Amino acid sequence: MLKIDKSKVAFFFYCLTITSMVFSPFLLSISMIGLIATGIFEVHTKNNILKVGIDHKGMKRSFRIMQYPSFAVLLLFFGLVLFWCWPVEDANFLLERLRIKLPFLLLPLTFLALPRVTERQLDLLLYFMLLLFVLTSFGIIAYYLQHFQELNLLIKQGHHIPTPRNHIRYSLLLALAIVGGYLLWEKGFYLRSKSERRWILGATVFLFFFIHLLSVKSGLLVLYSAGIALGFRYVWVNKQWLIGLSVFGLIVLVPYLSYHLIPSFKNKMHYTIHDLLMFQEGKGGQYSDSGRLASLAVGASLATAHPWTGVGVGNLRLRVQEQYELKYPDYVEPFMPQNQFLYVAAGTGVFGLGVFSFAFCFPFFYQRNYLHPLFLLFYVMTFVAFMIEHAIENAVGVAHFLFFLLVMVSHLNRES
């Protein structure tokens, strides 16, 4: 009897999940279903006949999820929506929230049923991401150069360079690929030959400059936050103060050089400044950053008016629309609060925010996971993303946060 290696099947779906985050929400659903099926079933061949059965060992781990606290705590993200939904005034919005947060219920159980993620697999996933974003960057750069004048003018008007699917999500994944590439190079990883280290370093540096060409503020903010954390970590671990100061110097120097050398970056900065000035003058109804700032004011107003229990998860969209009609009637589109913590506070109040913050922070501190450099930098980047976006209020955002978190938690907090 020949048994199919589940770890290899799972790794295939890991790579497919990352690819689908870049290209296709439909493909993302397929990859998630594939992961769940891989966790539940095992496949073997006997006498050239393919047989499928339940993986009882994996299922037993899933049923004992409370013995794995860093997995179990993630169920709270789903429970928060489920138990803070009353009273319900907008049933469609509530059902949408439950659907989007369903992976917080299913994927922790799935990753417990799957084989533990090994260090080699984690490194290979980072390597795969590096290759994926190098390849996709070629197409984006070619399109940008082909429409150079037109795109630079559009960027000055608040548009962005076209990317596969959502440009913000692409930039956040790109930032993680850059960080992953640096960590692979730092640890001396290679697939077949030591000479690959030069390719890894070159690809990482190339993507670092590419993200400045792309000039999506969210990706740049999380990347520079990771760079600052990396500088502090290097000083703390290696006591190399001069190198640490050099890192901080680069963090200041590179944006300055980018402003003077990269037209898309310069135009994006000009547009951002103009946008903020329009908001200050009360003329920000047509501008994206003004909409973000207005959403923060609306979120803070709702959280202050309903401090203990919030307005209810299922009612948040209605309350936000009412606030926009009252305070920002000239804004084209009412943005939901563009801060994940404020979003939760407005919907569930102080108590819900406490549950959310506990669930978010627990895996970071559990068994000192923060000592792992990738885990540390992932959390720094995620925290910054949460501060500037309601990052896990859409399906791809949930997949981004939950998938990478579970991959690392599976590696750090699971027996084989």
Burial class (CB in 10 A: 0-12, 13-18, 19+), 116: middle
Residue-wise pLDDT for 38-92, tens only, equals 988 887 766 666 677 787 888 999 999 999 999 999 999 999 998 887 777 888 9
pLDDT at residue 265 is higher than 60: yes
pLDDT at residue 158 is higher than 90: no
The residue-averaged pLDDT of 150-158 equals 86
Compute the distance between CA of residue 324 and CA of residue 331 in angstroms, rounded to an integer.
8
CA-CA-CA-CA torsion sign (402, 406, 409, 413) = positive
Question: What local confidence, expressed as pLDDT, does residue 17 receive?
Answer: 96
Which residues partner with 45 through β-bridges? 2, 50
Question: What local confidence, expressed as pLDDT, does residue 380 receive?
Answer: 97
Helix ranges, 84-166 (H):
91-101, 103-113, 119-146, 148-156
Question: What local confidence, expressed as pLDDT, does residue 256 receive?
Answer: 83
DSSP state of 334: P
Query: Could you tell me the pLDDT band of residue 389, with boundaries at 50, 70 and 90?
Result: very high
Q: Which residue type sits at 291? A: G
DSSP state of 46: E
Compute the distance between CA of residue 172 and CA of residue 169 in angstroms, rounded to an integer.
5
Whose tokens are 């943005």? That residue is 335
Residue-wise pLDDT for 321-352, tens only, equals 999 999 888 887 888 999 999 999 999 999 99
Q: Which residues are CB-contacts of 416 (< 8 A; sequence separation ≥ 6)?
A: 115, 116
Question: What local confidence, expressed as pLDDT, does residue 416 receive?
Answer: 66
| Residue 52: φ, ψ to 5° | -120, 135
Global confidence as pTM: 0.94
Would you tell me how many other CB atoms lie within 10 Å of the CB of residue 105?
16
For 308, the token pair is 């203990």
Q: Among the listed ranges 163-167, 229-233, 406-410, which one has the minimum average pLDDT value? A: 229-233
Strand order, beta sheet including 41-46: 2-3, 41-46, 49-54
78 is in which domain, residue-wise?
A: 68-416
Question: What local confidence, expressed as pLDDT, does residue 246 receive?
Answer: 74
Flag whether 279 is in a domain: yes
Query: Could you tell me the pLDDT band of residue 211, with boundaries at 50, 70 and 90?
Result: very high
Using left for φ > 0, alpha for ψ between -120 and 50, and beta otherwise, residue 349 falls in left
CA distances from 388 to 201, 223, 391 (A): 29, 13, 8
Our CA angle for 339, 343, 347, nearest 5°, is: 170
Decide if 121 contacts 403 (C-beta within 8 A).
no
Quick check: helix, strand or coil at residue 52?
Answer: strand
Question: What local confidence, expressed as pLDDT, does residue 251 receive?
Answer: 79
For 16, the token pair is 């497919």
Question: What local confidence, expressed as pLDDT, does residue 88 receive?
Answer: 77
Would you tell me how many other CB atoms lie within 10 Å of the CB of residue 28?
24
Flag whether 223 is in a domain: yes
CA distances from 222 to 110, 178, 217, 384 (A): 29, 11, 9, 6
Residue-wise pLDDT for 267-305, tens only, equals 888 888 877 887 787 776 777 888 889 999 999 999 999
DSSP state of 76: H
Flag whether 356 is in a domain: yes
- If you average pLDDT over every residue of the chain, what do you get? 90
Quick check: helix, strand or coil at residue 38?
Answer: helix
Question: What local confidence, expressed as pLDDT, does residue 48 receive?
Answer: 66
Decide if 247 contacts 230 (C-beta within 8 A).
yes
Residue among 378, 368, 40 nearest 179 (CA) = 378
Percent of the chain with pLDDT over 90: 64
Query: Could you tell me the pLDDT band of residue 254, with boundaries at 50, 70 and 90?
Result: confident
pLDDT at residue 4 is higher than 80: no
Flag whether 29 is in a domain: no
Compute the distance between CA of residue 25 and CA of residue 31 in angstroms, rounded to an integer.
10
Decide if 204 contacts 131 (C-beta within 8 A).
no
Q: Which residues are CB-contacts of 293 (< 8 A; sequence separation ≥ 6)?
A: 276, 279, 284
| Residue 372: φ, ψ to 5° | -75, 120
Q: What share of the chain is helix, strand, coil (3-state, %, to 5)?
A: 75, 5, 20
Question: What local confidence, expressed as pLDDT, does residue 25 receive?
Answer: 87
Question: What local confidence, expressed as pLDDT, does residue 46 receive?
Answer: 67
Flag whether 282 is in a domain: yes
Flag whether 49 is in a domain: no
Quick check: helix, strand or coil at residue 415?
Answer: coil
Count of the separate structural domains present in the chain? 1
Quick check: helix, strand or coil at residue 118?
Answer: coil
